[in-house]
Structure 1
Amino acid sequence: MKQSLTLNKVTRFMGFGTLKPFTALFTGKVQKEDILTILKKFIVPIASILLFIGLWHAGSRALFNMEADYKIEKALTDQGQKAANEMKACIASGDISCQPNTLPSPTQVWASFQTLLKDHKVISADKLAFKEKTAAMNEKRVAAGQDPITYTGRPSFVDQIFTSLKTVFAGFLLALLIAVPIGIVIGLSETLRSSFNWLIQIFKPVSPVVWLLLVFMIVKTMTKDSNQDSAFIISFISVGLCSMWATLVNTAMGVSSVDKDYINVAKVLKLGAFQKVFKVILPSSLPLIFTGLRITLSVAWMVLIAIELLAQSPGLGSFVWEEFQNGANDSNSKIIVAMFVIGLIGFLLDRIMLTIQKMVSFNKNEGL
């Protein structure tokens, strides 16, 4: 019973409804509604996934053949029939040196995913060995007031995922700390809303590239003589400034739309300014605030990849750019692995925020 409840919660979290219609198949109490629900919630999504993989495979083969024909034709034009025959034989043999570098197939992407996981295990083992080797030396250095020796090897793909998550949550927290208080203040005053609306409307559509350059100039000036990791600081501040506007607007809207009866009750009870905000205004505004936070987290995750790519700071964006620059035969496959990972993490972050939003929302259907 407990396992069934847990599975139902997981399937609802992932957007597939509950397992009740599916379990009806095994209990013998199948109804027409159950069959339709299974078809909509399970069979059709699985069929769409298989269709996507099939189209992807067919497209990759078509592009592979197109690129192979081009390479053979080029060899024929530049070097003659013998070179063209050699190129055709080389491509058919599967030799990496002459394979067309185009859209990889699903099997190639899966192989690259497994390669990245193996690479992570190797790097993790190297880190552990380095830590054990330098443990005694680092104790002496710390005791002497010196900085410990740190591992400077390249990060693995999994390490870069965690780096991106750390950066996006730091940027999200910054956006929350800036946008919610300002949104509350602006929402309480119609004069302030009209006064600052122009600023919000101008800065809200500004590109992540512009925010990155602005933050880069400021942070580099302020940390010129510091040993701090300026790349991380630049990245998370840029993410926070790019993504905070949805929360700011929704918070101001939520505060300004609080029922006037609640405000009048607060006046009758002679609540102070802070009591009125925390006991009346914020509870009433939470659904809209969390809607803004959900949008902010999604925007933060999207702009993070672009900012990491541009700033060359550690993370998934940097990983994608390095693989693109690398141009190896499996680079395209690794880029697509990163694309799926970015999309999956973005989906999970949105599900988490949607779940929290439903917990604080008066309308249980809000946010679907």
Structure 2
Amino acid sequence: MATVFADRHDPETPTMEGATGSGSVSVGGKVAVPDAETATAEPKKPNPAVAKGAALAKGLIAPVLGVLAFLALWGVLAPQVDTSLGALPGPVEVAEQGVALYDEWVAGKEAEAQFYADQNARNTAAIAAGNPAGVRDFTYAGAPTFLDQIFTSLKTVALGFILATLVAVPIGLAAGLSPLFNAAINPLIQIMKPVSPLAWLPIVTMVISAMITNADPLLPKAFVISALVVMLCSLWPTLINTAVGTASIDKDLLAVGRVLKLGTFAKLTKLVLPASLPYIFTGMRLSLGVGWMVLIAAEMLAQNPGLGKFVWDEFQNGSSQSLARIMFAVVVIGFIGFGLDRIMMALQALVSKNRTI
């Protein structure tokens, strides 16, 4: 077995200093030990400026370059594609229609403000003339603009997502805590989960139309229909992830709860919910994404107000600008979906700060 000598060497065997002068190399098969300075030297730390530049390149420069490459490829290939409405619009044409849609929204708001100003002037004149019966309060009935459709879709998906969460989380908690209950509802979940929103839409429409018969309901009928379709199609990821997270809680933790004689509510709030919170938020993020996709399809099919109806109306319009407007709406839909996901991530981080388990 080879032996390393640290404290002696053969005087007849010369040694050579290393190229750096910080250690020695043996000649004739023996090994010399580096000097104390080299043995105790710390590894060289990376340059902070270099590390910061690398992080910046990875987090900002690379995505920007990817987007620019995509836009360049789009701009080159788009004119080569001919459709019934002309050549496929490039990024510049789509951006121009985005500006035009914003100008339409500004013009619509000015027209609405002018409408109410004229109405107030007429009512004031009628009261001054001693004719209170001539006072009329009408609601502006102008066509909704693109931004109005965005707000409508956001309100609809928010209501559907809230309803889905209120239904899915309690059922998921019960399924995770009770294997018997989980076995009972599992077949129903597996059957209902793959059902398309296009199949739910006529059922929900008929049920809501039969239930809401008031001429002036609290919520518009089309709004309720779209929100319920979103709920029925988006609750499953939250339900399943909540059940999985609850079932994976450490059994010793639940045993501690039994030893401390915690009640059902205390066990849920102190043990179950904090431990399963990451799973719940993962399911909620998935549900929100599914709900946003489902909403656009439901609005297109049912012609309910929102971005889906805007896309369908532009498709039916068939003007030279329709295709560019549709593509701009698609880009906006994607950005909104991305933004909703970031909001859920931020909310999860905020709630998880005070987790005790």
> Please, what TM-score do these two structures have when normalized by structure 2?
0.78
What is the root-mean-square deviation in Å for CA atoms of aligned residues? 2.6
Cα distance, 1:191–1:136 mapped onto 2, change above 3 Å: farther
**Where in structure 2 are the equivalents of 1:158-307 lying within 5 Å?**
158-228=147-217, 229-307=220-298
Instruction: Please report how far the alpha carbon of residue 333 of structure 1 lies from its aligned counterpart in structure 2 after TM superposition.
Output: 0.6
Instruction: Structure 1 unaligned segments of length 5 or more: list them.
Output: 1-28, 72-99
Residue number among 107, 111, 120 corresponding to 1:122 in the alignment: 107
Distance 2:86 2:265 in 1: 62
Distance 2:185 2:351 in 1: 28
Instruction: Please report how far the alpha carbon of residue 137 of structure 1 lies from its aligned counterpart in structure 2 after TM superposition.
Output: 8.2
Distance 2:123 2:346 in 1: 44
Local SS of the residue matching 2:87: coil
Question: Residues 287 and 360 of structure 1 are in contact (CA less than 8 Å); yes or no, is this contact kept in structure 2?
Answer: no
Distance 1:198 1:282 in 2: 25
Q: Compare the two structures and name the one with the higher helix fraction.
A: 1
Residue 50 of structure 1 corresponds to: 68
Distance 1:124 1:293 in 2: 35
Instruction: Please report how far the alpha carbon of residue 281 of structure 1 lies from its aligned counterpart in structure 2 after TM superposition.
Output: 1.0
Local SS of the residue matching 1:244: helix
Local SS of the residue matching 2:81: helix
Instruction: Please report how far the alpha carbon of residue 326 of structure 1 lies from its aligned counterpart in structure 2 after TM superposition.
Output: 0.2
Query: Is residue 312 of structure 1 aligned with residue 303 of structure 2?
Result: yes
Distance 2:122 2:259 in 1: 67
Residue number among 38, 42, 54 corresponding to 2:56 in the alignment: 38
Distance 1:178 1:296 in 2: 12
Cα distance, 1:357–1:113 mapped onto 2, change above 3 Å: same
**Where in structure 2 are the equivalents of 1:35-114 lying within 5 Å?**
35-64=53-82, 101-114=86-99
Instruction: Please report how far the alpha carbon of residue 225 of structure 1 lies from its aligned counterpart in structure 2 after TM superposition.
Output: 4.2
Distance 1:297 1:51 in 2: 30
Instruction: Please report how far the alpha carbon of residue 272 of structure 1 lies from its aligned counterpart in structure 2 after TM superposition.
Output: 1.4
Distance 2:154 2:197 in 1: 18
Q: Which amino acid aligns with 2:319?
A: A
Distance 1:224 1:359 in 2: 42
Question: Residues 79 and 87 of structure 2 are in contact (CA less than 8 Å); yes or no, is this contact kept in structure 1?
Answer: no
Percent identity over the alignment is 46
Distance 1:268 1:43 in 2: 55
Deviations 1:31-83 (A, max 9, x none): 4333433332233222211211111111112125xx6xxx9xxxxxxxxxxxx
Distance 1:305 1:137 in 2: 41
Question: Residues 138 and 149 of structure 1 are in contact (CA less than 8 Å); yes or no, is this contact kept in structure 2?
Answer: no
Instruction: Please report how far the alpha carbon of residue 30 of structure 1 lies from its aligned counterpart in structure 2 after TM superposition.
Output: 6.8
Distance 2:248 2:121 in 1: 61
Instruction: Please report how far the alpha carbon of residue 138 of structure 1 lies from its aligned counterpart in structure 2 after TM superposition.
Output: 9.0
Matched residue pairs, number?
299
Cα distance, 1:320–1:284 mapped onto 2, change above 3 Å: same
Instruction: Please report how far the alpha carbon of residue 116 of structure 1 lies from its aligned counterpart in structure 2 after TM superposition.
Output: 0.4
Instruction: Structure 2 unaligned segments of length 5 or more: list them.
Output: 1-46, 127-131
Residue number among 296, 320, 326 corresponding to 1:329 in the alignment: 320
Residue number among 349, 353, 356 corresponding to 2:344 in the alignment: 353
Instruction: Please report how far the alpha carbon of residue 284 of structure 1 lies from its aligned counterpart in structure 2 after TM superposition.
Output: 1.2
Distance 2:96 2:230 in 1: 32
Q: Which amino acid aligns with 2:67?
A: I
Q: Which amino acid aligns with 1:127?
A: E
